[in-house]
Structure 1
Amino acid sequence: MSGRIRVAVTGLGVRTPAGNDVKTFWSTLLDGRSTARTISSFDASGLPVGFACQVPDFDPGDYVTGKQARRMDRTTLLAVCAAADAIGDAGPTEVPPERRAVVTGTGLGGNETAESTLLGPGGPTALYVPKVMHNAAAAFVSMRHRILGPSLTVSTACASGGHAIGEGLRLLRDGSADLVVAGGAEACVSPTILLAFHRCGALSQRVAEPERASRPFDAARDGFVLAEGAAFVVLERLDDAVRRGARVYAELAGYGRTSDAHHLTTPDPDGAGAERCVRQALADARLSPADVTHVNAHGSGTPLNDVTEARVIARLAGQAPVTSIKSVIGHAIGAAGAIEAVASALTLHELLAPPTINLDAQDPLCEIDVIRRPRPIAPGAVLSNSFAFGGHNASLVFAPNT
């Protein structure tokens, strides 16, 4: 990989249904404990699907004042807390504010504010626009940490978090920044979004057993479980990280981004766009499919997406064991790719891959090695995929720090 900038992952921060810190998040994934529950934040008894994966015991009080919190949507609050933890985890840096950047991803932005205003009395307040705008999270993270370089927002549905981290990699490589805080956030567990996804046939209907509803690659899968959350990483040049003695979780070695240009909500059945995305990411990392030792799949648990992705994985990295952590934490839309990127970095750092739960009988059309219990992996490339409504594809390749 000589001749170009190598990029290290030196900080991680999460707010997820599996935990509000990286240690708890990782433990829950390895234990394979489903986080799907009956919704607690509002009365969902009248909805056809009344369960989701929500962030438990979320309290932003240690990060923002009450006045500040009233100016932020829940999506932004999740982002601010996760980003602050990632920055703290990375440790002190001498990078000047002008050379720092932030990139956030979100699919729905300030959805909680938008929905409560739409359904509630009185109409919008003076804070409505600042709370619902998609770039609010990037703005607040930059203000809190005095990030004076690029402050960007990506919105590509379920690929938003993956794209945000990939674009952070590009900022470092093209010299626009020396340190990047990148990730995604989403707070979309709401009556309108649940009903909308239900009506388009995307959600699992297993209302009698929510814990078993998210079942990627299983023959009896019937849709995803809606989730919320946030995850951020700190990226910096590997040489800089080594020089300051930082802990390096992994190298972010490659990034791919393509479009299906096929259908707004249905993947191209032959997976051509997704395959080009994976090939692009591997080529960017200067690696081959044979170098992949683990795949953190998009694995949404929807019938068409899982088959399409499995075909792509089988063609390119058929020997690699595969995990979908959505089986544990559900699908957090714009935050999903970022949460899965954190899991991928941890998998490589620990050389241990978490399981895919609820896999009772694997779909014979998904001819890949899906992990059912924690499994040690060999040092090598870890591929993380995000494939979204709109045909947006993002793939990240993480590699050992060698």
Structure 2
Amino acid sequence: MAPRRVVVTGLGAVTPLGVGVGELWRGLLEGECGIRELDGEEFEGLPVRVAGTVPVDPATLLPRPQARRMNRAAQFAVLAAREAWRDAGFDGAGTAESGLDPARVGVSVGAILGDASVLVGGDRKLRAKGPRSVSPLTTPMTVPSQAASQVSLALRITGEARTVTSACASGTEAIGLAIDRIRYGHVDIALAGGAEAVVTPAIMASFAAMRALSHHGLTEGSPSRPFAKDRDGFVNGEGAGFLLLETEEHARARGARIYCEAAGWGLSADAHHMAAPDPSGSGVALALRRALKDAGGHVVDVVHVNAHATATVEGDLAEANALRAVLGGPVPVTALKGHLGHLQGAAGGVEAVATALTLHHGLIPPTIGCAIQDDEIGLDVVTHSARPLPAGGDLALSNSFGFGGHNAVLALRRVG
């Protein structure tokens, strides 16, 4: 069969800017920073104590019996996926209530660890009180696939429930795989994105030991400073972001609002280092070119890039090198980690939501934290205030790159 066209009809997000897509979009346009001080006792003594944390306990937004059986990342995922589902015009009770065949709907979620705190808590109980104190829910609540399984349970989705783990590219790769599953007829609808909750003392300490975290405080704007001259590392974060994807034919038949087309995606691997990016950006450039080809587009069609830009010295420069090499001329670029921190496996999901909104509203959110741009970056970075999307061209790219050289790029197309 010929590949089917895939469109985005629903969006959902839980981020450091708040619960819901409305809070995310408002905060991005207004230049709000969702990075906060970690004031819990367990974080005392850590060299870095700031992170992009969700300001609401997700468990309070879910029925108590369900919340108790989900880790924090799964709670984020269910909330964001339900929002995307309802935003697309479906019944919040699930597939059957929406008149859908549950076997023709899928779930695709990116996560690195999901939520490491459950396993850590189980180990503490084991050491303190012995094996009988460890909950039987510890293992099923620890696996990275819990977010995907809980979304499928919440909405009675039986077609498939996939988990993708490819470091910080996980969310974007999960969306790309879902696009192909719809294109080639395996399912007709999919909830796709990422969810992560790894703001824990051990992970914060590990990132600090790698010298990967920013040491900027909260007193002078965002400590996460993408593309800035004084950037010095990323800020850890948490959250979830989901797209509701479906065939264009199905969406138009039911009169759904279409945000944009999910036009294509591309992958590559640096094969360079277990954590550091290839400074040449050649792997990133390959993923960019593959995404454009998969979307049936050309360089001149690109009107916007939502950059990965974690605010590490090497990573931002490698991405900039790749963007200049592939795109040639100036294209408006924004980077959202000044607002949110780095949401790890959820980053690609949330940033895809923002890219879809950018195309839908014709407005590019500003990059915060970049007071003075590094001269070596050489990109048209949108700062200070939102900027109208250029009228010519129709493609926006959303980039995600991870430790170990995982590169993923999503291409979304504006629809008339």
Q: TM-score of the superposition, structure 2-length normalised? A: 0.93
User: Which position in structure 1 is the counterpart of 2:204?
Assistant: 194
Q: Structure 1 residues 287 and 330, CA, compared in 2 at 3 Å: closer, same or farther?
A: same
Alignment of 1:32-47 (within 5 A): 32-47=31-46
User: Which position in structure 2 is the counterpart of 1:183?
Assistant: 193
- Contact 2:109 / 2:162 at 8 angstroms: preserved in 1? yes
1:265 aligns with 2:275: yes
User: Which position in structure 1 is the counterpart of 2:53?
Assistant: 54
Alignment of 1:3-402 (within 5 A): 4-63=3-62, 65-92=63-90, 93-120=98-125, 121-122=128-129, 124-207=134-217, 209=219, 211-317=221-327, 318-372=329-383, 373-379=385-391, 380-402=394-416
The aligned amino acid for 2:180 is: R
Shift of 1:125: 2.0
The aligned amino acid for 1:250 is: C
The 3-state SS of whatever aligns with 1:129 is coil
| Cα distance per residue 1:188-231 (max 9 Å; x no partner) | 11101100000001100113637431000001100001110001
- Contact 2:10 / 2:243 at 8 angstroms: preserved in 1? yes
The 3-state SS of whatever aligns with 2:258 is coil
The aligned amino acid for 1:28 is: G
4+ long deviations beyond 4 Å? 40-43
> How far, CA to CA, are the matches of 2:41 and 2:291 in structure 1?
41
- Contact 1:115 / 1:192 at 8 angstroms: preserved in 2? no
> How far, CA to CA, are the matches of 2:330 and 2:207 in structure 1?
34
Structure 1: tracts of 5 or more residues without a match: none
Shift of 1:172: 0.2
The 3-state SS of whatever aligns with 2:373 is coil
Q: Structure 1 residues 41 and 250, CA, compared in 2 at 3 Å: closer, same or farther?
A: farther
Shift of 1:42: 4.8
User: Comparing 333-342 with 102-111, which one deviates more in the overlay?
Assistant: 102-111
The 3-state SS of whatever aligns with 1:232 is strand
> How far, CA to CA, are the matches of 1:146 and 1:328 in structure 2?
34
Structure 2: tracts of 5 or more residues without a match: 91-97
| Cα distance per residue 1:230-284 (max 9 Å; x no partner) | 0111000112111111111111101101111111101111111111101000000
> How far, CA to CA, are the matches of 2:196 and 2:46 in structure 1?
21
The 3-state SS of whatever aligns with 1:85 is helix
Shift of 1:44: 2.2
> How far, CA to CA, are the matches of 2:5 and 2:40 in structure 1?
43
- Contact 2:198 / 2:238 at 8 angstroms: preserved in 1? yes
Q: TM-score of the superposition, structure 1-length normalised? A: 0.96
The aligned amino acid for 2:306 is: N
> How far, CA to CA, are the matches of 2:26 and 2:207 in structure 1?
30
- Contact 1:179 / 1:234 at 8 angstroms: preserved in 2? yes
- Contact 2:58 / 2:76 at 8 angstroms: preserved in 1? no
> How far, CA to CA, are the matches of 1:360 and 1:21 in structure 2?
28
User: Comparing 254-263 with 336-345, which one deviates more in the overlay?
Assistant: 254-263
User: Comparing 371-380 with 202-211, which one deviates more in the overlay?
Assistant: 202-211
The aligned amino acid for 1:384 is: S
> How far, CA to CA, are the matches of 1:261 and 1:6 in structure 2?
33
The 3-state SS of whatever aligns with 2:193 is strand
| Cα distance per residue 1:171-190 (max 9 Å; x no partner) | 10121100001111000111
> How far, CA to CA, are the matches of 2:217 and 2:380 in structure 1?
29
The 3-state SS of whatever aligns with 1:265 is coil
The 3-state SS of whatever aligns with 1:213 is coil
> How far, CA to CA, are the matches of 1:9 and 1:94 in structure 2?
19
The aligned amino acid for 1:44 is: F
Q: Structure 1 residues 179 and 41, CA, compared in 2 at 3 Å: closer, same or farther?
A: farther
Shift of 1:288: 0.7
User: Comparing 13-22 with 121-130, which one deviates more in the overlay?
Assistant: 121-130
> How far, CA to CA, are the matches of 2:219 and 2:152 in structure 1?
41
- Contact 1:95 / 1:179 at 8 angstroms: preserved in 2? no
The aligned amino acid for 1:95 is: L
> How far, CA to CA, are the matches of 1:199 and 1:231 in structure 2?
29
Percent of aligned positions with the same letter in both sequences? Answer: 43
> How far, CA to CA, are the matches of 2:147 and 2:32 in structure 1?
29
The aligned amino acid for 2:323 is: I
The 3-state SS of whatever aligns with 1:270 is coil
- Contact 2:35 / 2:51 at 8 angstroms: preserved in 1? yes
| Cα distance per residue 1:66-122 (max 9 Å; x no partner) | 222121110111111111111111113533101000011101123121222334534
The aligned amino acid for 1:365 is: E
> How far, CA to CA, are the matches of 2:317 and 2:190 in structure 1?
35
The 3-state SS of whatever aligns with 1:157 is coil
> How far, CA to CA, are the matches of 1:264 and 1:100 in structure 2?
36
> How far, CA to CA, are the matches of 2:50 and 2:121 in structure 1?
19
The 3-state SS of whatever aligns with 1:140 is helix
